[in-house]
Amino acid sequence: MYSKEESSKLREEFWTSFGKSFPRKWILYRTGVKEILFKFYFDTKKAMVCIDIEGSLDSREKYFNKMESLRGIFSDFLPNNEYEKEFVLENGKEISRIWIEKKDVCIHNKATWQETMEFFVSNMSQIELFWQEYEDLFKEDVF
């Protein structure tokens, strides 16, 4: 068991190492649609690459429905993805989320860091490729 301080230090070390190992400017918060964010997530049980849809219920529903209508195409870029219209974060905030997950990795276990970094790079790259092809559909008022 790690103290809060030790855990925080390991998290910081992982993200610094990831940035140095794979120096790249990711889209993440700069999708051009303020409600749509791309995120990396890594904890003591799993790693995830996510598309988070935030904002009002109406906005979330609109963008989530667009993603659902493109589900088959998106799966060509990122197979084995999961969709959840009403996803509740640890802080209680409700969002919509589309993600892919890698289990049996742990941010406290440095032996799993390299495979997690490779998982992040390959899957976020696919999300960004999808976004480059289809982002205009999300920027239009009518789908």
Q: What pLDDT, on a 0 to 100 scale, did the predictor assign at position 140?
A: 75
Per-residue pLDDT of 77-132, as tens digits, reads: 999 999 999 999 999 999 999 999 999 999 999 999 999 999 999 999 999 999 99
Q: What pLDDT, on a 0 to 100 scale, did the predictor assign at position 141?
A: 58
Rounded to the nearest angstrom, the gap between the alpha carbon of residue 110 and the centroid of all alpha carbons in its chain is 21
Sheet holding 46-53, edge to edge: 36-42, 46-53, 94-103, 82-88
Residue 55 tokens, joined: 């904002």
Domain of 122 in residue numbering reads as 4-139
Q: What pLDDT, on a 0 to 100 scale, did the predictor assign at position 2?
A: 83
Q: What pLDDT, on a 0 to 100 scale, did the predictor assign at position 1?
A: 74
**pTM (2 d.p.):** 0.92
- Domain count for the chain: 1
Q: What pLDDT, on a 0 to 100 scale, did the predictor assign at position 143?
A: 42
Q: How confident is the model at residue 134 (pLDDT cuts 50, 70, 90)?
A: very high
Per-residue pLDDT of 12-47, as tens digits, reads: 999 999 999 999 999 999 999 999 999 999 999 999
> Judging by DSSP bridges, how do beta strands 94-103 and 82-88 pair with one another?
antiparallel
Instruction: Give the residue-averaged pLDDT of 132-143.
Output: 81
Distance CA 96, CA 61 (A): 8
Distance CA 115, CA 110 (A): 10
Domain CATH number, residue 83: 3.30.1460
* 8 A C-beta contact, residue 50 and residue 83: no
